Amino acid sequence: MTLVICYYGKNGAVIGGDRRQIFFRGNEEKRKLLEEKLYSGEIKTEEELYKLAEELGVKIIIEDDREKVRKISDTVVCGEVRSLGVDAKRRRVYATKGKCAIIDILNDTITKEIIKEGFGLVIFGNKFLKNRAEEELRNKAKLFPMMPIQQIESEIREIFEKLKWHPTVSKEYDIYSVNKYEKNFEEVIKKDIGDLFEYREKLRQQLIDFGKVMSIVNKIVKNGEIGVIKDGKLHLYDEYIAVDKIDPNPNTFKIIEVKGNFKDGDVIVIENGDMKVKGTDERVETDYIIISK
């Protein structure tokens, strides 16, 4: 679902990319069939895509808000295609004046890195789009090293205009260019990929923390006897604990302060979320949350 075109040469670097993402939900074999017809160019419009998806019982979601290319600085541009599933697979191209790098990333590991110098074109996309873009650029690309960088931008923009009819390409796209050489090219790439890995680690921790929070929420006691009053405090039964907040790492307690009209020996219950003295309507209050152990 991607078209990224990158040029690098002695006159600078230009990168263009569309914004489309397509998500498929349904039977795996039927999804693959739909994707094969889509990426081969057999499906030519969004209407045809939606129609065939409905016939196959595959749900599709189309979004046009992912920026696949960007300008890192006034010397380096970058583009990325990715596949997110059990594993996160990424292919990135970085370019500066007279130099480019193509990098494959699997989760948090660089699996392949190629550095090229001089001039050239790098095209990411499904087989159909890649072939069409290469056909359009075959003759023009030879003249790119002699062109002003703005003209190359125009030529790449024209490719997107010609191909945006295809259902895997968004109507809007982004194009960036630089005309300066980055002497610390490899270091810029290293830092940018390091930022990606740091982001993934933060995201991973957020997911872990979210799981912990949901585990606490799901264990909040709604009904049942939870403990007994001793020395003016609530002593929880073995199967319960109290937490001071809904948090990935809350403080936990077995004996807690409570308020209300009770006496030592009273059994405390929770009925439909309300804490009471068993057998009465006397409500009991606390600043803690009672959860199953």
Domain CATH for 83? 3.60.20.10
Q: Is residue 44 part of a domain?
A: no
Q: Is residue 47 part of a domain?
A: no
Tell me, what's the pLDDT at 1?
62
Number of domains comprising the chain: 2
Q: Which of 136, 163, 198 is the last residue of a domain?
A: 198
Tell me, what's the pLDDT at 40?
85
Mean pLDDT, range 211-237, rounded to an integer: 93
* 153, 116: one domain: yes
pLDDT exceeds 80 at position 69: yes
Mean pLDDT, range 142-167, rounded to an integer: 94
* 188, 232: one domain: no
Tell me how far apart the alpha carbons of residues 260 and 281 are, in angstroms, rounded to a whole number. Answer: 11
Share of the chain above pLDDT 70, in %: 100
* 188, 228: one domain: no
* 11, 107: one domain: yes
Which neighbouring-strand residues pair with 82? 90
* 135, 255: one domain: no
* 104, 229: one domain: no
pLDDT exceeds 70 at position 221: yes
Per residue in 270-290, pLDDT (tens digit) is 998 899 999 998 999 999 999
Per residue in 169-206, pLDDT (tens digit) is 999 999 999 999 999 999 999 999 999 999 999 988 99
* 13, 90: one domain: yes
* 11, 151: one domain: yes
Q: Is residue 125 part of a domain?
A: yes
Q: Is residue 213 part of a domain?
A: no
Q: Which of 164, 198, 232 is the last residue of a domain?
A: 198
Average pLDDT, the chain: 93
Q: Is residue 49 part of a domain?
A: no
* 277, 168: one domain: no
* 144, 252: one domain: no
Tell me, what's the pLDDT at 2?
82
Q: Is residue 277 part of a domain?
A: yes
Instruction: Name the residue among 152, 185, 190, 192 with its Cα closest to residue 12.
Output: 152
Tell me, what's the pLDDT at 39?
87
Q: What is the residue range of 274's domain?
A: 224-292
Q: Is residue 26 part of a domain?
A: no
130-137, long-range: CB < 8 A, 24+ apart: 130/3, 132/41, 132/163, 133/3, 133/5, 133/159, 133/163, 136/162, 136/163, 137/5
Residue with tokens 């872990």: 208
Q: Is residue 34 part of a domain?
A: no
Mean pLDDT, range 9-22, rounded to an integer: 95
